[in-house]
Structures are given as structure tokens and as C-alpha cells.
């Protein structure tokens, strides 16, 4: 059976990294952007990382510019922004595509394991549905990720156990992460 450990990704410096290097850790894999309304998610993500990294937790950050061009910078510019503005210390990888023919295989796998189930209710969620519908038309059945800051929780065995859309309350995300770390 396939797990995230079967994938290799590229770090922001261009080096290949096997996700098998993270065996035994709980992972939160996130597609991010520096110019998005959800960019402030970096703050609770970093707080969670600081609190839980010594307990076997990692956040893997994959910038993506496929949603309204909200991550236009180079890998170094994105990294500098994140470290200067939010003090991020978790691993950040090379900017990737998460949708379409050029989608990174890791994100195709993650989204296939935990497909999109909606943004929930409320005005903000309804507006996001409108934006994503327009943005994702060009990707058709390869619109795996609907917006920036989609998060996938992976257990210590490399299995995808949860998907959190950017509209999910970060307190709920943290509760689920803590539960996975304590198992």
C-alpha cells in the first residue's frame, strides 16, 4: 500500500528529499502563498510547530502560485518573507503546482486519499466557492486542491488521515494534530 513515504520532493535549494526521511513523524503538509487572505495561517502553524516539533511533528510547506497568482516570488523571496514576517522555522520546499497536468505527484496522491468535501457554511466560505469555481475551471478533473493553505495530516505510518480546507478553524487543526502526535 502506498504512503507519503513513497514520494520524493524538491527542497527550495533544488535538492531531492525523500519523504521516507520523515518516517515515524506526524506531518502536516500545506500548500501556501505569501499574498493570500489566509497567509496569516503561518502564525498558528509556526506556534504549533514550536510546541510540537520535539514530540515528532513536522510541517512541510509547499508554496504554490496557482491561485490568483498569490505566490509570485522566487523560492528565496518566499522563504525570506515567511521567516521575516512570521518567523517560520519549519521546512519549506520548492514552489510547485498542485493542480493540472503539472501537479506535483505528492499533492495528487494527498488529494486522492482525502478529496475535497467543501468549505463549510458562511459568507466567507460562499465567496471562496465562487473564486475557486472560476479558478479551477481550467484544471477540470485535475483540480485537486481548491485554494491556498489546504492542509493534509499524515500519521506516523505515512497515512493521510485528514484534510483541512483553509476555512477550517486553526484551533480544530491543532486539536487533530495533537491527537495524532499523542497516539
User: CA separation (Å) from 25 to 7, 78, 86, 158?
Assistant: 15, 25, 23, 8
* Residues in a beta bridge with 152: 29, 163
Strand, helix or coil for residue 29: strand
Question: Which of 36, 64, 82, 176 does the annotation list as catalytic?
Answer: 36
Distance of alpha carbon 58 from alpha carbon 70, whole angstroms: 24
| Confidence (pTM) | 0.94
What structural domains does the chain harbor?
4-182 (3.40.30.10)
Quick check: is 64 catalytic?
no
* Residues in a beta bridge with 62: 31
CB 167 within 8 A of CB 124: yes
Instruction: Encode the chain (183 residues) as per-residue pLDDT tens digits.
Output: 899 999 999 999 999 999 999 999 999 999 999 999 889 999 999 999 999 999 999 999 999 999 888 998 999 999 999 999 999 999 999 999 999 999 999 999 999 999 998 887 766 676 777 777 777 777 878 889 999 999 999 999 999 999 999 999 999 999 999 999 998
Amino acid at each position: 500500500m502506498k504512503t507519503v513515504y513513497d514520494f520524493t520532493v524538491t527542497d527550495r535549494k533544488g535538492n531531492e528529499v525523500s519523504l521516507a526521511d520523515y518516517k515515524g513523524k506526524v506531518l502536516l503538509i500545506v500548500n501556501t502563498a505569501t499574498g493570500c487572505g489566509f497567509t496569516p495561517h503561518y502564525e498558528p502553524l509556526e506556534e504549533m510547530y514550536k510546541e510540537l516539533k520535539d514530540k515528532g511533528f513536522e510541517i512541510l510547506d509547499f508554496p504554490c502560485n496557482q491561485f490568483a497568482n498569490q505566490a509570485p516570488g522566487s523560492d528565496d523571496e518566499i522563504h525570506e518573507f515567511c521567516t521575516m514576517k512570521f518567523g517560520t522555522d519549519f521546512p519549506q520546499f520548492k514552489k510547485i503546482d498542485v493542480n493540472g497536468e503539472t501537479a506535483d505527484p505528492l499533492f495528487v496522491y494527498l488529494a486522492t486519499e482525502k478529496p475535497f468535501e467543501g468549505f463549510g457554511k458562511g459568507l466567507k466560505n460562499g465567496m471562496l466557492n465562487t473564486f475557486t469555481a472560476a479558478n479551477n475551471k481550467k484544471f477540470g478533473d485535475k483540480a485537486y486542491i481548491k485554494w491556498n493553505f489546504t492542509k493534509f495530516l499524515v500519521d506516523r505510518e505515512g497515512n493521510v488521515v485528514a484534510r483541512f480546507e483553509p476555512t477550517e478553524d486553526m484551533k480544530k487543526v491543532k486539536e487533530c494534530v495533537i491527537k495524532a502526535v499523542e497516539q
